[in-house]
Structure 1
Amino acid sequence: MKNGFVILISATAALGGLLFGFDTAIISGTIPYIQSYFSMDAVSLGWAVGSGLIGCAIGSVIAGYISDSHGRKLSLMLCALLFAVSGIGVAFSHSLFAFILFRIIGGIGVGAAAMVSPMYIAEIAPSSDRGRLVALYQLAIVTGILVAYFTNYGLNDTGINNWRWMFGSQLIPSLLFLIMLLFVPESPRWLVGKGRIKESLTILQRIVPPFQLQQELEDIKKSFASKEQIGLAHLFEKRYSKVIIAGVLLAVFQQVTGINAILYYAPVIFNQTGIGNNDSLLYTIIIGVVNVVSTFIAIGLVDKVGRKRFLLIGSVLMGGSLLIVAFCFYLKFFQYYIILIAVLVYVASFGCTLGAVTWVYLSEIFPNRIRALALSLSTFALWLADFIISYSFPIMTMHISTSVTLGIYALFCAIAFIYMVTNIPETKGKSLEEIETLFV
């Protein structure tokens, strides 16, 4: 990969994942404090944690239409603004209603960015490097998680308003993202879809080798040849059914295998083993570091090993790790180092596989004409699954135990493995237009 321009604009767009990761992890360090401040029971805590995900689901739906009508770049700038407003609003919240409202507003920005960022990268990346460039989005997610863990740890002893500082700090990454977006071009594929061929060609000249330029432009134009207006109803036509089902199920599997229950509630899980709150926050930093390192592995190998093999290996390792933690809780064998190692293997497996590769796969499997709406539907399903997991986790652990809850997540890992063996084709090294034929 020699095109520094492509790497730079891909990395900038990937910062949308930084918002996602920061939002995912910042809540974990605030749980004991907001639970006390707002006098929450298990149900209201589930709502407080999951409220941002309601916004994410809304954002993923809205983003499909906004990114198709106004472009990928403007959509991402709007995401950054919403996340900034959310940080300020939550930091100054004095009621649970205001807290949840501003969490939802931030979630809209995060959910929209989760759909638009990988789509934008896939649309500007050469097919030979698309996997690792889209995987930058997952790297940004885990970097955001790690930054949030450090933020929580650093602000933990700042007094009774520490949780306000934790949430308010998200203003920094959102403004960074907004400023950097000013310097990225629009997606050339979106420009072709709008008939702005000359503008698209100008951008493609900086992305595609000269000998491939004309063929690339013709392939893109051909994929938009139909004048038929695409709406949500078209996604349910028989010709698209196979790819839509694959996209939605893969998005759901990424969440129901339990990753965000672990990331949101990691300090709570460690507290149940008898570890103090400060040590629990420190262990979450270790989790964050492992998450980042494993994502680098995915970036280095996803275009060599392939998408499908990574997904299958990950589902096996994640399921096995969850079973170890589940048995430790079932037997009340609270040797923290065993639980910590199993959690780290689980997180590393996710980072290498379902974490990074899911975004790569979702960004590239949908035909050009329906990509925005189809990706919107898939990310909506992802956020809905994420909400169900994060909302239900404290309730399930209270009523059916932590061990059974983790065992259920392990079962979903097995179901995901079975589905992916038979229904997920390999897309490594293929152009976006070639991938369209795999699901016909």
Structure 2
Amino acid sequence: MTRKLIITTLTASFGGLLFGFETAVINGALPFITQFFSLTDAMKGATVSAALVGCIVGALAVGRPADRFGRRTLLRVLALLFLISAIGTGFAANIQAFIIFRFIGGIAVGGASVISPMYISEISPAEYRGRLTVSFQLAVVVGILFAFFTDYLLINTGENNWRYMMLSMGLPAIVFYVLLFFIDRSPRWLIKEGKREEAIEVFKHLNPEADSEKLVEEIQKTIDKKAVQKFSVLFKKDYSKLLIIGIAVGMFNQFTGINIIMYYATDIFRSAGFSTDSAIGQTVLIGLVNLIFTILAMRLIDKIGRRKLLLTGTLGMAFFLGLFAYAYLSDAFSSWMLLVSLICFIAFFASSQGAVIWVILSEIFPNNIRARGASAGSFSHWFFNGLTTFLFPVVIGLFSGSKGVGYVFIFYSIMTFLSFFVFKKYLMEMKGKTLESMK
């Protein structure tokens, strides 16, 4: 891997860092926002899920502009949206304004979840594509950890602490925007646009040892101009199966309950008996475990493959989700057993599905429909994310005490176990294969 390739990958991965920061910073800020604006359970759910609605819009809308204007241009637009969200939420005078700017940040997250990993997959040599694309998820995890740690550091800064927490995203958004002026456009997008010579030069910069002209010729053979221009082609027989797989991957990812933990971990730990300061501290520990096991997945994904990594992790997740639910519903377990089971779940998630999902969505679709196919899979991810995030505080409010949390996680355990069989039957392995092998 060349220095240019690594720098370009890290720059594109910055979209993942902002993705993680934007989605997780609300975790520590939420108790203070709830108190400041006197939110009901329903309004709390709306405040958190506003960004998720934006994610749905961003993921669904970004595919066609990415094909028309290019991946790099769209990333610059998304960086500006992240900055607007940080400033807007930090200075919001009322909950309505806060929700609007959370929605704008969500559009940026949804778009980044499609464009950043797709851009990385399109610049990466086949033998390194898995670990390079996982760098996006690694950046997401780092962003989550930064958000948790930032919340923890700012907790004692007064009644406006939540404003500082939200504003803190502004700095990485500016850095991301500036860095995007120092990377090339996607070579595969350039080829689709007929810019063959520029694409050859980009491939030479990224991987001097490869036969750039031969690679460009292979890519050109897989491009069908009619398929590139028409959205309806997604539903034709050749592509519809891939579309269904992408949607299923996005849906089952959210039915693990991972983002309920990322958004509501503070509230979950508080209901289990931890103090607010201690609960926010536990989220930092979760963020560290998430980071460590994402790095492990990064080392393994190109060695043992996406499919095997996913299947192994899915069984582990299902078990510890069930244990977590049982601990909540039983008096036999201490609150620390809840923490241990949750950490073990995070370890299995981060080393499998957390790392694999964005790799799968960025590489299972052929060149003709990659942006739109990845957009549909990401839309599924964010749709179910938004739905479960909004319903979580409402559902647990229907039960007395904290029992509702246990029942919700029983559902997640069952759905995660079911996903094992779906992935085993329908998911293909792309380890070591070029993107052009998907036709």
Query: What is the CA–CA distance in structure 2 between the aligned matches of 1:187 and 1:246, rounded to whole Å?
Result: 25
* Paired position in structure 1 for 2:195: 196
* Paired position in structure 1 for 2:113: 114
Contact 2:141–2:287 (8 Å) recurs in 1: yes
Contact 2:270–2:279 (8 Å) recurs in 1: yes
Aligned to 1:93, the other structure's residue is in SS state: coil
Q: CA deviation at 1:207?
A: 2.6
Query: What is the CA–CA distance in structure 1 between the aligned matches of 2:6 and 2:166, rounded to whole Å?
Result: 30
Query: What is the CA–CA distance in structure 1 between the aligned matches of 2:30 and 2:229, rounded to whole Å?
Result: 43
Offset from partner CA, 1:114-148 (integer Å, 9 cap, x none): 10000000000000000000000000000000000
Counterpart residue identity of residue 20, structure 1? F
Counterpart residue identity of residue 405, structure 2? T
1:424 is the counterpart of 2:427: yes
Offset from partner CA, 1:332-359 (integer Å, 9 cap, x none): 3451221111111111111111111111
Counterpart residue identity of residue 120, structure 2? I
Q: Tell me which moved more, 19-28 or 211-220.
A: 211-220
Q: CA deviation at 1:315?
A: 1.0
Offset from partner CA, 1:369-428 (integer Å, 9 cap, x none): 100111111111111011011111111222251111000011110111010111001110
Q: CA deviation at 1:305?
A: 0.9
Contact 1:273–1:334 (8 Å) recurs in 2: no
Query: What is the CA–CA distance in structure 1 between the aligned matches of 2:239 and 2:332, rounded to whole Å?
Result: 49
Counterpart residue identity of residue 177, structure 1? F
* Paired position in structure 1 for 2:61: 62
- The 1:332–1:272 alpha-carbon spacing in structure 2 relative to 1, beyond 3 Å, is farther
* Paired position in structure 1 for 2:11: 12
Query: Aligned to 1:405, which of 386, 408, 415?
Result: 408
Q: CA deviation at 1:232?
A: 2.3
- The 1:14–1:324 alpha-carbon spacing in structure 2 relative to 1, beyond 3 Å, is same
* Paired position in structure 2 for 1:340: 339
1:216 is the counterpart of 2:220: no
Query: What is the CA–CA distance in structure 2 between the aligned matches of 1:259 and 1:419, rounded to whole Å?
Result: 19
* Paired position in structure 1 for 2:186: 187
Give me the CA root mean square deviation.
Answer: 1.2
Q: Specify every segment of 5 or more residues in structure 1 that has no aligned partner in the other structure, as ranges.
A: none
Contact 1:123–1:189 (8 Å) recurs in 2: yes
Offset from partner CA, 1:167-197 (integer Å, 9 cap, x none): 0111011111111111110000000000011
Runs of at least 4 residues of structure 1 off by over 3 A?
208-211, 225-229
* Paired position in structure 1 for 2:253: 254
1:357 is the counterpart of 2:351: no
* Paired position in structure 1 for 2:152: 153
Question: % of aligned pairs identical?
Answer: 39
Query: What is the CA–CA distance in structure 1 between the aligned matches of 2:224 and 2:207, rounded to whole Å?
Result: 21
- The 1:228–1:148 alpha-carbon spacing in structure 2 relative to 1, beyond 3 Å, is closer
Taking the TM superposition and a 5 Å limit, the aligned residue runs for 1:6-45 are 6-45=5-44
Q: Specify every segment of 5 or more residues in structure 2 that has no aligned partner in the other structure, as ranges.
A: none
TM-score (norm 1): 0.97
Q: Tell me which moved more, 134-143 or 242-251.
A: 242-251
Q: Tell me which moved more, 107-116 or 392-401.
A: 392-401
Contact 1:230–1:370 (8 Å) recurs in 2: no
Aligned to 1:186, the other structure's residue is in SS state: coil
Contact 2:270–2:276 (8 Å) recurs in 1: yes
* Paired position in structure 2 for 1:414: 417
Query: What is the CA–CA distance in structure 1 between the aligned matches of 2:336 and 2:168, rounded to whole Å?
Result: 31
Taking the TM superposition and a 5 Å limit, the aligned residue runs for 1:29-428 are 29-210=28-209, 212-333=211-332, 335-400=334-399, 401-428=404-431
Q: Tell me which moved more, 206-215 or 412-421.
A: 206-215
Contact 1:76–1:113 (8 Å) recurs in 2: yes
TM-score (norm 2): 0.97
Query: What is the CA–CA distance in structure 1 between the aligned matches of 2:219 and 2:71, rounded to whole Å?
Result: 17
Query: What is the CA–CA distance in structure 1 between the aligned matches of 2:258 and 2:283, rounded to whole Å?
Result: 13
